[in-house]
Amino acid sequence: MGLRLNPRHALAGLKNFRFVAHTLFWGFVIGPALAYAITHFLPVEYPYAIGLILLGMTPGVPFMPMVVGRVKGDLGYTAAFMLLVSITTIFYMPVVVPILLEGLRVSAWTIARPLLFVMFLPLAAGTLILYLYPGWAFIIQPVVKKITILFTVFACALAVIVYGGGLPGLNLTWALISLLIFFFILTAFPYWFGFGLRHEQKLVLSIGMSTRNLGAALAPLLSVEQIDQRAIIMIGLGLPAMLLFAWLSTKWFGQPEP
């Protein structure tokens, strides 16, 4: 992400107060509140509820520029969105996780540590390389991208091996329904109610909110010794859900407004 995150473009987008306000509101107020409300109005088992609430706190993924670019969204605002949600997530989750998830009794540093080392430092390193040595960033970015894809596929395959055997015996009906409701609202509503934003900027907002940073959502769980594996499975189910709704966002809103 950092190798594609042009600081100048990001800072230009961050000067738009309405875009920043919409991003923070939908990403860190509505997202967690919606997940929390769904798990209390629907009979979702508590481990699945933990996974959904963590997904609600972690908007945005590194492949956003690819999706936004295909539908002619604003790539400068995409950079601003990615920078804003990445940094906010790091400071936001250690404060909010203990409040919304009382059963997840971990210290703020326990949550912040993996976010710092897994998200912030690599993001900062990539952005610094792009800023100081754009030529080198252009050369190594495709290599890093391929390595990332390789390890992502490996991690997904390993997750299926470790957790897939237990899926047939789980009652996932309400968990899946809650995921569909959650992703539909966070895909459609930010675009429909993106007041004051241009079409290209609302596209960024919709695609950004329809995707979730699974690594950040998993970080607090992986820091706890005894956690119900159903919470991890719920976050894993967020991958096909967000891919579906990111694609739907491009189909629903990808054409320019008349």
- Following DSSP, what letter does each residue of 138-200 receive, concatenated? HHHHHHHHHHHHHHHHHHHHHHHHHHGGGGGGS--HHHHHHHHHHHHHHHHHHHHT-TT--HH
State the pLDDT at residue 257: 45
- Give whichever of 90-94, 103-107, 154-158, 168-172 has the largest mean pLDDT: 90-94
Residue with the bigger pLDDT between 99 and 203: it is 203
204-239 pLDDT, tens per residue? Answer: 999 999 999 888 888 888 777 777 888 888 998 888
Cβ atoms within 10 Å, residue 143: 10
State the pLDDT at residue 180: 96
116-170 pLDDT, tens per residue? Answer: 777 778 878 888 898 888 889 889 988 988 887 788 778 778 877 776 666 666 7
1-60 pLDDT, tens per residue? Answer: 778 777 777 788 899 999 999 999 999 999 999 999 999 999 999 999 999 999 999 998
> Quick one: which of 36, 55, 56 has its CA closest to 46?
36
State the pLDDT at residue 130: 87
Q: What are phi and psi of 211, to 5 degrees?
A: -115, 155
Q: Report the C-alpha gap between 122 and 116 in whole angstroms.
A: 9
Q: Report helix, strand or coil for 212.
A: strand
**258 pLDDT more than 50:** no
State the pLDDT at residue 108: 67
Question: Distance from CA of residue 190 to its chain's centroid?
Answer: 15
**91 pLDDT more than 70:** yes
Q: Report the C-alpha gap between 77 and 242 in whole angstroms.
A: 20
71-88 pLDDT, tens per residue? Answer: 877 878 888 898 898 888
CA distances from 206 to 71, 188, 217, 254 (A): 12, 7, 19, 10
Q: Report the C-alpha gap between 205 and 200 in whole angstroms.
A: 9
Return the domain boundaries, the chain: 2-253
62-72 pLDDT, tens per residue? Answer: 777 778 877 87
Give the burial class of 257: count Cβ atoms within 10 A of its Cβ; 0-12 exposed, 13-18 middle, 19 or more buried.
Answer: exposed
Show the tokens assigned to 192. Answer: 């429909």
According to CATH, the topology of domain 2-253 is: Na+/H+ antiporter like fold (1.20.1530)
240-254 pLDDT, tens per residue? Answer: 898 899 889 888 887
State the pLDDT at residue 169: 62
State the pLDDT at residue 26: 97
**What is the overall mean pLDDT for the chain?**
85
- Name the least confident of 92-101, 108-117, 192-201: 108-117
The amino acid at 11: L
